[in-house]
Structure 1
């Protein structure tokens, strides 16, 4: 197996980070292990360093995505593996991900199986995201939001400017790889329940995750998202016009509003499609 870099974004993971790093080093002694300490207020940095990792510390918390970007810029290997520092991901699964990269894939994602989701609600949301992404890309997407993945470093670094600083970097990077025509594969894994307290706030981050729906569309093919919405407005416009013409024999302002809204949505999708194409012109 060729050399690879493992990047673990960590914020206040003193309870688990040492054990995770030691397990990685024990199984893959030649791997480069980088822990990005995202402004932790506990001993995360000290424990990770003592366990054998190279530690890069942010002076304050910048977010999970920002940590991923910091780690990717510091990585020296051709293959990068991203995983959580909270004990959810099994380091033994890294071998399978890296093996698929060596077989020719550009991105390999660890797809969480039934029973691996943090909660029932999270599982439903992820299921919806997967179906939406499958529709947008035309390829089966088994786990859009999984943070356990292996990538070719040079291809991943092409999209660093697209990645948000928050928790939706897996969605953004996956859709970017599909849009650029790179090879993506999903490998079944089992993720354990995280140890310690989650940093995801259901209300605040729930709103952010809803934005994933729109990000999926705008990162891949905006027309696939805007066209059905435009068609719906046109359909309602025709139905309302038929009703008012039959009952009042006239064309109403509501019909005009619905037709205009449909036209505007379609044009927004068309313009967004052109902008999206420019984003990937070098890929």
Structure 2
């Protein structure tokens, strides 16, 4: 069985069209709209269009809505997509076809500036993709896309890791890579969002920057900590040599001691984080079929 989950907050202008399209393409699928504290009748409109509506009494965030929808779903395969009209219901079939090739997670990857909400978002997402690709050693075409098909059991095993905000796609993608599951990216085109968005560049800018550190924490902390530890300790050695040349005295200064010890501490923190990450994924990967 297929379950399609749409988090929705004040999407009354588009939710009926999206739900209607999904019901037409997949009449046997379970379509779930998680009404995240809407004030414009989104839930009632979605129910009339044929969706099962799960109502949050107040807005808890996109990630919280996704988690609530995943728990309410009955299907073996989950498809997550937006209710704002950006994603084409016809592309769900393409995701499922790719998923059927043996993947555990298939992500609809936006390509090009025209598929992003703004130049700033496109630049930030491009950076995230390159950084995450370096972390996992595999090309990641779209780290933050919310349009995806996934194995429900495996997704639920990572539910405790997922944040309540907009970074759930990043967290789930990196968690699947870390657990050794198969991930694929399928190029898609997205339509221009109808209505105002729920992401503010100023409000969420720092939050999105924290995604970078979350990527490292979820996948391999030592891979992030180690370069910084080497750089810091290297600056300490450079300071020691430079001081000796300028003063003609090989003194181990306070600055040298601070830099070298900071580098060692960074390395040890990375090593500890690596071990904790290994423990976090120790029991992941056991199917209950």
TM-score by length of 2: 0.96
SS in 2 for 1:91: coil
Shift of 1:103: 1.6
Distance 1:143 1:9 in 2: 19
Distance 1:190 1:256 in 2: 54
In the alignment, structure 1 segments of 5+ residues that lack a partner are none
Distance 2:25 2:14 in 1: 17
Distance 2:255 2:147 in 1: 49
1:53-105: CA deviation from partner (whole Å, max 9, x where unpaired): 00000011111000000000011010000000001111110001111222210
| Residue 162 of structure 1 pairs with residue 146 of structure 2 | no
Distance 1:279 1:93 in 2: 34
Shift of 1:274: 0.6
Moved over 3 A (4+): none
In the alignment, structure 2 segments of 5+ residues that lack a partner are 285-289
Q: 1:67-82 maps to which residues of 2 (within 5 A)?
A: 67-82=65-80
Show the counterpart of 2:287.
Answer: none
Distance 1:141 1:236 in 2: 33
SS in 1 for 2:12: coil
Shift of 1:265: 0.5
Distance 2:209 2:46 in 1: 33
Show the counterpart of 1:222.
Answer: 221
Distance 1:205 1:130 in 2: 18
Q: 1:166-177 maps to which residues of 2 (within 5 A)?
A: 166-177=165-176
Show the counterpart of 2:211.
Answer: 212
Shift of 1:19: 0.7
| Residue 271 of structure 1 pairs with residue 272 of structure 2 | yes
Distance 1:108 1:170 in 2: 12
1:208-229: CA deviation from partner (whole Å, max 9, x where unpaired): 1010000000000000000011
SS in 1 for 2:38: coil
Aligned pairs, how many?
281
Show the counterpart of 1:253.
Answer: 254
Shift of 1:152: 0.4
Distance 1:42 1:252 in 2: 65
Show the counterpart of 1:188.
Answer: 187
Shift of 1:27: 1.2
1:18-64: CA deviation from partner (whole Å, max 9, x where unpaired): 11101111111111100000011111001000000000000111110
Distance 1:88 1:235 in 2: 48
SS in 1 for 2:150: strand
Show the counterpart of 1:84.
Answer: 82
Distance 1:20 1:152 in 2: 23
Show the counterpart of 2:127.
Answer: 128
Correspondent of 1:60 among 58, 61, 71: 58
Show the counterpart of 1:97.
Answer: 95
SS in 1 for 2:4: strand
TM-score by length of 1: 0.98
